Amino acid sequence: MAHSNTVLAQRLNVIPRHQFQKTVDQYQADKRTRTLSCWGQFVALLVGQLSGASSLRGLVEQLDVQSRRLYHLGLKPVRKSTLADANQKRSTLVYYMLFFRLLSRLARQKGLREVITQVQLIDSTTISLCQSRYQWAHFRQNKSGVKIHTVYDPNADTPIYFEITDARVSDGRAISQLSVFKGTTYVFDRAYNGGAWLEKLVNEGCLFVGRMKKDMNYKVTKSLPPKGVGVVRDEKIEVCYKTRSYLKGRTLRRVVFHRQQDDKELVFITNDLKRSALAIADLYKQRWQIELFFKWIKQNLKIKQFYGTSENAVKLQVLVAMISYVLLRLIQQGVAPERRLGNVSIRLGSVLMQRMPLLEVFRKPPDLPDDTGQLGLGFG
| DSSP result, 288-357 | HHHHHHHHHHHHHSS-SS-S--SHHHHHHHHHHHHHHHHHHHHHHHHH-TTS-HHHHHHHHHHTTTSBS-
> Residue 379 — very low, low, confident or very high, per pLDDT cuts 50/70/90?
very low
- Using the 8-state DSSP alphabet, how is residue 141 labeled? T
Residue 114, amino acid? E
Provide mean pLDDT across the span 133-149. 93
**Model confidence pLDDT, tens digit, residues 333-358:** 999 999 999 999 999 999 998 888 88
Question: How many angstroms separate the CA atoms of 268 and 276, rounded?
Answer: 13
Res 274: pLDDT: 96
pLDDT at residue 377 is higher than 50: no
Q: What is the mean pLDDT of the chain?
A: 90
pLDDT at residue 3 is higher than 60: no
**Model confidence pLDDT, tens digit, residues 70-119:** 887 888 889 999 999 999 999 999 999 999 999 989 888 876 555 555 89
**Model confidence pLDDT, tens digit, residues 264-318:** 999 999 999 999 999 999 999 999 999 999 999 999 999 999 999 999 999 999 9
What share of the chain in percent tops pLDDT 70?
A: 93
**Model confidence pLDDT, tens digit, residues 31-63:** 988 889 999 999 999 999 999 999 999 999 999
Res 328: pLDDT: 95
Question: How many angstroms separate the CA atoms of 233 and 267, rounded?
Answer: 9
Give Cα separations from 380 to 3, 17, 44 (angstroms). Answer: 14, 26, 18
**What residue spans define the domains of the chain?**
3-97+309-361, 190-279
Question: How many angstroms separate the CA atoms of 66 and 77, rounded?
Answer: 9
Give the CA-trace dihedral at 366, 372, 373, 377, to 10 degrees.
70
Looking at 312-321, 322-331, 357-366, which range is the least confident one?
357-366
